[in-house]
Amino acid sequence: MVHFDLGNISSGPKDYYDILIVGGGPAGLTAAIYAGRAGLTAAVFEKALEGGAVTQTHIVENWPGFTRIEGSELGEKFAEHARSFGAELVTAEVTKITYDNEYKYVHLDNGKVVKGKVLVYATGAVPRQLNVPGEKEFRGKGVTYCAACDGYLFSGKDVVVVGGGDSACDEAHFLAKMVKSITIVQNLPYLTAAKVLQDRLFSNKNVKVVYNSLVKEIRGKDKVEEVVVVNNETGEETVIKAEGVFIYVGLVPKSDLLKDIVEVDKFGYIKTNENMETNIPGIYAIGDVRVKNLRQIVTAAADGAIAVEHAAKKYF
């Protein structure tokens, strides 16, 4: 089925908004909805597509109201919802954040600077790298972190999926329909994904798992040809023939624009109080980028609501 999405249409930012939201995932877009409800103007700055990492998720089954919805569709709905409350969705990358006593400023990669009273930072997290030989070298030559983007380019080929969590299993299930075979490489003796995701994954006949194993190296000539894995109990090395390597081994926070401005923990996650405010008044952090226990769409959305509700009372 062919879709035609309106995703990234934007008419460009004005000079000032009450609330500047950096990142257009579930957290940022919920913040925009609550800003609209509070009668505040808001702009959401997103370099990819509104919806954030959700748009790359194959199937979402833990957002209340939808027993099952495609990630890209849910992302679209979030964006549509934010737009209906008057939010300006701006397609641009924020390259710098500054502030003075009165205002916060986002500096965009097209040279524009937009001013706001409150800044809400909702950039989320990006895929963690394996840091093994061959990973960098073969990026874009077989190594990838986005099944939604690149899955079809591996139709009929053998691939390896690294990781055993929710993302790894969901994306492997998505890939199973198009690729020839999948070998999942997991460092533990079991998968950590939710049971429902594991059951679904194993309904595919072309999926197998190599447990207790770490990727040692990704090898090939011009592009990926094989993956070397080591059993972490026996030390035995195995070579798996594959043309694609999809890496899902967790996330690292995308706090680079704020980490020298506000307090972060040793992993780079941003520290906030229970109102989502950082140690700098008027700068909030929400969603996957902040220190928290559970990183899910529903907790990201909750963060967005809490932050803007608080900011609306305190600063306007």
Partner 1 sequence: MALLSAKDREYLTDLFSKEMENKVKLIYFGDSKENCEYCELEEQILDELQELSDKIIVERYNVNDHKDLAEKYEVEMVPALILTLEDGEDKGVRFYGLPSGHEFGTLVQDITTFGKGAKPDLSPNTIEKLKEIDTPVRISVFVTPTCPYCPRAVLTAHNFALINPLIKAEMIEANEFFELSNEFGVSSVPHIVINRNPNTFFIGAYPEAQYLEEVLKAIK
Interface residues toward partner 1, by CB under 8 A: 2-12, 47-49, 51, 55-56, 72, 75, 91, 93, 95, 109-112, 139-144, 146, 148-154, 222-223, 244
> Residue 124: how many CA atoms within 13 Å on its side-chain side?
26
Min CB(89)–partner 1 separation in Å: 11
Min CB(90)–partner 1 separation in Å: 10
Q: Which is nearer to partner 1, 71 or 304 (CB)?
A: 71
Min CB(66)–partner 1 separation in Å: 18
Q: Which is nearer to partner 1, 118 or 161 (CB)?
A: 161
b/e per residue, 68-103, with b = 16+ CB within 10 A?
A: ebbbbbbbbbbbeebbebebbbbbbebeebebeeee
Is the C-alpha dihedral spanning 160, 48, 62, 66 positive or negative?
negative
Min CB(222)–partner 1 separation in Å: 7
Q: Which is nearer to partner 1, 139 or 295 (CB)?
A: 139
Min CB(143)–partner 1 separation in Å: 8
Min CB(282)–partner 1 separation in Å: 25
Q: How many CB atoms lie within 10 A of CB 48?
A: 17
Instruction: Report how far residue 43's alpha carbon sits from residue 225's, in angstroms, rounded to the nearest whole number.
Output: 45
Largest CA distance in the chain: 63
Which of 56, 59, 55, 60 shows the shortest CA–CA distance to 7? 55
Q: Which is nearer to partner 1, 142 or 287 (CB)?
A: 142
108 contact partners, CB below 8 Å, separation of at least 6 = 13, 45, 90, 92, 93, 94, 95, 114
Q: Which is nearer to partner 1, 149 or 196 (CB)?
A: 149
- Secondary structure of residue 300 in the 3-state scheme: helix
Q: Which is nearer to partner 1, 150 or 309 (CB)?
A: 150
Instruction: Report how far residue 170's alpha carbon sits from residue 157's, in angstroms, rounded to the nearest whole number.
Output: 19
Q: Which is nearer to partner 1, 95 or 273 (CB)?
A: 95
- H/E element holding 70? strand 69-70
Min CB(60)–partner 1 separation in Å: 15
Instruction: Report how far residue 244's alpha carbon sits from residue 159's, in angstroms, rounded to the nearest whole number.
Output: 5
- Secondary structure of residue 224 in the 3-state scheme: strand
Min CB(32)–partner 1 separation in Å: 17
Q: Which is nearer to partner 1, 230 or 251 (CB)?
A: 251
